Amino acid sequence: MCGIVGYIGHRDAFPIIIKGLQRLEYRGYDSAGIALFDGTSINLAKTKGKVEDLKNKAKNISQEGKIGIGHTRWATHGIPNDVNSHPHYSNSGDLVIIHNGIIENYESIKKELIKRGYTFTSDTDTEVLVNLIEEVKKTEDVKLGQAVQIALNQVVGAYAIAVFDRNKPDEIVVAKLGSPLAIGIGENEFFIASDASPFIEFTNNAVYLEDEEMAIVRLGKEIKLRKIKNDAVAYPRIMELQMNLEEIEKGGYDHFMLKEIYEQPRAIKDTYRGRLLAEQGLIRMAGIDQNLEKFMNANRIIIVACGTSWHAGLVAEYIFEDLARIPVEVEYASEFRYRNPVITDKDVLIAISQSGETADTLAAIKLAKEKGAFVFGVCNVVGSSIARESHAGAYTHAGPEIGVASTKAFTTQITVLTLLALKLAKEKGTFSQTQFHEFLTELETIPSKVEKALESNPLIEIISDVYKESTNCLYLGRGYNFPVALEGALKLKEISYIHAEGYPAAEMKHGPIALIDDQMPVFVIATKKGHYEKVVSNIQEIKSRKGKIIAIVTEGDEQVTELADHVIEVPETLESLTPLLTTIPLQLLSYHIAVMRGCNVDQPRNLAKSVTVE
């Protein structure tokens, strides 16, 4: 959470930092701030609210300067107000800092600094850190880089920081532990950011700091990395970025979420392209090919993830057990990491994460590795912490997902996990070559079937209008579509703030049925393959209690169509591939309802795209 941006070079820093912050707003949008050095003094503007508000506020300061730092905040310590916004000055006014993360022991450090005469204007842990750096710099009589290093060795927590000292205006000191930090390397200029989107139009070359690394980014010098703990030199690994500008812009859509929903046919295709070789009857995935033994000898697969990625994990549980006959457990990463789980070196842990930065998922990986498990990462963001921490993995090729609500990340995660399950099924012989071939051929049709599902958008808009004022909604599905029901409910609640619950359809009669009356919309996934008759019975139960039924059905359906208040059709496919289609109308429903309610769909309240705090 929180986005940080910095610039040092020959261009005006202000527009680069403002645009960079706008691109990072998905990481948090409680407040925003900027500090620029004009050659003599630091000019700072910060405000509660979004980067747009900051642009107004910054009209009151000089926007001059070729060096600067900026921040967009997801509040942890201290309410979102002007004072708690970043950047934060040290007491002398010499140092200024931006920070993404949490300093857990900030209270004890703060008490000690107060004893030494420091005062604090904000409630943040970050203001404590910048003053600790100042205190170290003064008492130990060291330069900024060393002061940062000594101070960081005294703190417990997570951080990506950038610190500027007005007495040393040719450098910015950066450091990372647990939160992402990239340095873009241009021609005699450097960019600092939480991800590469703020600098992609300036350079394709970037260094991603590893945990416990710091760097002094100095004009006219090469990047030098050091280990924070022992000062050992680390060598920068310069990556060539594949991202392009078009991918991170809205491209004519009103919202990123809608654009990303519509990108799914392309994203799914990109995810299996080069891996699914239907004609040759092959699936080629380097991360699996090189580690096949680990999977073949695994006692079980444990899947850890959070939120939407956890729902993709639940779909994968059905696929792995159904196709490859491997026992699977799916866990919330946050529970797994704290419950002393039994893990052995015969376990394979699959970590699923769009951002690759989710703190709980990362911690779960570290725990599993310590206990000897083999860790396979399924991430979307290339070079992310989870991708790097895993022993092996497979990227989803969804492209940047900027809307806070996950859409294309979900379907591409399911695509990768399906490929993995199919490959293992073939290797284990639980699937005949004919079945395997049929499956691959069907998987190749999914992008065009998703396109077909998207054609229901006008109808979905009409249905959304009917239910936009609802206060509660139920989502029901069975088998492969039970996780889709959970995902549908999550999508609705997170962007429209309507209370929604997902349930396995048959569980309804164990409690939730008490909620059903003529005001309750119930979204039911009732595709032909997958316990159809049972779901029809569940629909009857809802109908006899006057609930409103909105059903997702297979094209040509008659039985449910007769019973339901509204039906939305999706093309027919194999049962295990239905989640890739049934999730589409539910995404669109949430989107339209949220827009009609006047909600900010791309930046829903209280949320952030990348949850780097636990």
For the residues of 510-529, what is the DSSP string, one character each?
GTGGGG-STT-EEEEEE-ST
- For the record, the structure tokens of 603 come out as 């930046």
C-beta closer to ligand M6R: residue 464 or 590: 590
Beta-bridge partners for 548: 521
Among 361, 456, 481, 612, binds ligand M6R (CB under 6 A): 361
User: What phi and psi values does residue 310 have, to the nearest 5 degrees?
Assistant: -65, -40
Closer to ligand M6R by CB, 118 or 208: give it. Answer: 208
Examine the residue annotation and report whether 609 is marked as an active-site residue of this protein.
yes
Does position 94 interact with ligand M6R (CB under 6 A)? The reply is: no
Is 485 an interacting residue with respect to ligand M6R (CB under 6 A)? no
Kindly state the smallest distance separating residue 85's Cβ from ligand M6R, in Å: 24
Question: Does 404 participate in binding ligand M6R (rule CB under 6 A)?
Answer: yes
Distance CA 268, CA 444 (A): 9
Residue identified by tokens 């070359």 is 205
- The window from 66-74, 239-247, 349-357, 476-484 that contacts ligand M6R (CB under 6 A) reads 349-357
Among 125, 171, 270, 494, binds ligand M6R (CB under 6 A): 494
Task: Kindly state the smallest distance separating residue 103's Cβ from ligand M6R, in Å.
Answer: 22
Q: Tell me which of 90, 354, 390, 603 binds ligand M6R, using CB under 6 A.
A: 354
By CB under 6 A, tell whether 611 contacts ligand M6R: yes
Strand ranges in 316-436 using DSSP code E only, listed in sequence order: 328-332, 347-353, 374-379, 392-395
The DSSP output letter for 246 is G
Longest dimension (CA), the chain: 80
Of the candidates 101, 145, 157, 307, which one interacts with ligand M6R according to CB under 6 A? 307
Among 136, 387, 405, 525, binds ligand M6R (CB under 6 A): 405
* For ligand M6R, the closer CB: 47 or 361: 361
Least distance in Å: CB of 469 to ligand M6R?
Answer: 23
Q: Is 100 in the site for ligand M6R (CB under 6 A)?
A: no
Is 165 or 494 the residue whose CB approaches ligand M6R more closely?
494
Query: Of the listed pieces 177-185, 403-411, 449-457, 474-482, which binds ligand M6R according to CB under 6 A?
Result: 403-411
CB of 197 to ligand M6R, least distance (A): 15
Q: Which of 430, 431, 428, 395 is nearest to 298 (CA)?
A: 428
Backbone angles phi, psi at 115, to 5 degrees: -60, -35
How crowded is residue 167: how many other Cβ atoms within 10 Å of its Cβ?
A: 10
Tell which residue, 454, 10, 326, 447, has the closest CA to residue 190.
10
Piece of the chain touching ligand M6R by CB under 6 A; list 127-135, 163-171, 289-297, 348-356: 348-356
| Bridge-based pairing state of the strands 157-165 and 171-177 | antiparallel
From 46, 55, 66, 609, active-site residue: 609
Number of H helices, E strands in the chain: 20, 27
- Enter the tokens of residue 506: 């048959």
Stretch that binds ligand M6R, among 21-29, 194-202, 352-360, 515-523 (CB under 6 A): 352-360
Rounded CA gap, 17 and 247, in Å? Answer: 19
CB closer to ligand M6R out of 31 and 361? 361
Distance, CA of 348 to CA of 355 (rounded, Å)? 21
Considering the complex, state which of residue 134 and residue 360 has its C-beta at the smaller distance from ligand M6R. 360
Residue of 102, 150, 185, 306 that binds ligand M6R (CB under 6 A): 306
Binders of ligand M6R: how many residues, by CB under 6 A? 15
Kind plus residue range of the DSSP H or E element containing 317: helix 307-319
Q: Which structure tokens are listed for 235? A: 């060598």
Q: Rounded CA gap, 46 and 35, in Å? A: 8
If one counts every other C-beta atom within 10 angstroms of the C-beta of residue 345, the result is 12
Active-site choice (2, 306, 379, 599): 2
Rounded to 5 degrees, φ, ψ at 84 are -80, -5
Cβ distance to ligand M6R smaller for residue 335 or 517: 335
Residue of 31, 406, 464, 538 interacting with ligand M6R (CB under 6 A)? 406
Instruction: Point out the residues that are catalytic.
Output: 2, 609
Q: Which residues bind ligand M6R (CB under 6 A)?
A: 306-309, 353-355, 358, 361, 404-406, 490, 494, 611
